């Protein structure tokens, strides 16, 4: 069958239209969804609370949204979360502190925030002020297993006893199974507030340190995602969104204040 010029043009147009309607979407047309494994770490990462998922989670969502990327944040225990990221089964971790060993597996973002680290003891039970790790060598020190603080405490020669959460460590402290908890300030305070036992804690601050979001080196577009995240963090710091999220959780001031030994009820 022969086609005239007009009919041929119509046939070509129909063919193109048909092709476009069944052509699979290109990878660049699909919206990238980022999956970052979180470990429960209130108030920065709160499992099971859609309204208040934690300030780290909200900061990450806002930062990636700058480049129209959505973020999924499934929760796992710390060691499980790290394994999934290490193997590239998720895109990375919501947050992590820097260690040389982790750099083999992860790319570090720009600073996500600052964390305050110190010792907690029952008020009056530890007579001396603890200003550095070595000051706690005569104490039984509880640390959450898997935190990089565990390695630091062991390397400092402390008598370290591990547990899986801050809540368990507080129970051990109240029952005199340990003398002090060496941990991050905010999760211990949150865990303490949720306990029915009313005991005054004494907090001895050792240091502040930055923390980051970490992307797995095993994923193909790790560098591209890292650039997007860093750009997003810079943008939301500049436009005030970052600080408004911290204010929402009541930690805006605490992120940059070094506090000496304090009493906490």
Q: Which domains does the chain have, with CATH numbers?
A: 31-114+210-256 (3.40.190.10), 116-208+260-264 (3.40.190.10)
Residue length, the chain? 265
What DSSP string runs through 29-56?
A: GSPPEEEEEB--BTTTB-TT-SS---HH
The 3-state DSSP class for residue 143 equals strand
The values of phi and psi at residue 88, to 5°, are 80, 20
What is the C-alpha to C-alpha distance for residues 199 and 123, in angstroms, rounded to an integer? 8
The 3-state DSSP class for residue 226 equals helix
Query: Where does the pLDDT of residue 260 fall: very low under 50, low under 70, confident under 90, or very high at 90 and above?
Result: very low
What is the C-alpha to C-alpha distance for residues 132 and 93, in angstroms, rounded to an integer? 29
> For all residues of the chain together, what is the average pLDDT?
85
Rg of the chain (C-alpha set): 25
What DSSP string runs through 112-142?
A: EEEEEEEEEEETTTS-S---SGGGGTTSEEE
pLDDT for position 113: 93
Number of Cβ within 10 Å of residue 56's Cβ equals 24
pLDDT for position 263: 53
28: CB partners within 8 A, 6+ apart: none
pLDDT for position 264: 61
9: CB partners within 8 A, 6+ apart: none
What is the C-alpha to C-alpha distance for residues 11 and 20, in angstroms, rounded to an integer? 14
Q: What is the pTM of this model?
A: 0.67
Q: Which residue has the higher pLDDT, 147 or 5?
A: 147
pLDDT for position 147: 84
Query: Where does the pLDDT of residue 14 fall: very low under 50, low under 70, confident under 90, or very high at 90 and above?
Result: very low
Decide: 133 and 156 in contact? Cβ < 8 Å.
yes
What is the C-alpha to C-alpha distance for residues 97 and 102, in angstroms, rounded to an integer? 9
pLDDT digits (tens, 9 = 90+) for 206-242: 998 899 999 999 999 999 999 999 999 999 999 999 9
Average pLDDT of the residues in 26-55: 84
Average pLDDT of the residues in 149-178: 95
pLDDT digits (tens, 9 = 90+) for 91-103: 999 999 898 999 9
CA nearest 54: which of 73, 68, 81, 35? 73
pLDDT at 142 over 80: yes
pLDDT for position 253: 59
What is the C-alpha to C-alpha distance for residues 248 and 54, in angstroms, rounded to an integer? 10
pLDDT digits (tens, 9 = 90+) for 73-89: 999 999 999 999 999 99
CA nearest 201: which of 243, 230, 226, 173? 173
């Amino acid at each position: 069958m022969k086609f005239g010029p007009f009919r041929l043009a119509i046939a070509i147009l129909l063919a193109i239209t048909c092709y476009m309607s069944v052509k699979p979407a290109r990878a660049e047309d699909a919206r990238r969804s980022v999956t970052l494994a979180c470990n429960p770490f209130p108030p920065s990462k709160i499992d099971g609370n859609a309204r208040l998922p934690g300030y780290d989670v909200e900061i990450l969502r806002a930062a990636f949204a700058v480049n129209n990327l959505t973020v999924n944040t499934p929760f796992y225990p710390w060691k499980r979360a790290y394994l999934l990221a290490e193997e590239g089964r998720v895109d990375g971790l919501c947050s992590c502190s820097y260690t040389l060993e982790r750099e083999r597996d992860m790319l570090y973002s720009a600073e996500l925030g600052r964390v305050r680290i110190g010792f907690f003891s029952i008020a009056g039970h530890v007579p001396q002020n603890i200003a550095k790790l070595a000051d706690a060598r005569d104490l039984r020190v509880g640390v959450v297993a898997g935190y990089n603080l565990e390695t630091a405490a062991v390397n400092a020669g402390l008598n370290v006893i591990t547990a899986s959460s801050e809540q368990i460590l507080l129970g051990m402290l109240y029952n005199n199974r340990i003398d002090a908890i060496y941990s991050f300030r905010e999760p211990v305070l949150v865990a303490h507030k949720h306990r029915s036992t009313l005991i005054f804690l004494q907090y001895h601050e050792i240091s502040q340190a930055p923390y980051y979001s970490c992307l797995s080196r095993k994923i193909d577009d790790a560098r591209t995602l890292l650039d997007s995240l860093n750009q997003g963090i810079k943008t939301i710091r500049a436009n005030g969104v970052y600080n408004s999220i911290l204010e929402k959780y009541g930690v805006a001031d605490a992120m940059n204040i070094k506090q000496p030994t304090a009493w906490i009820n």
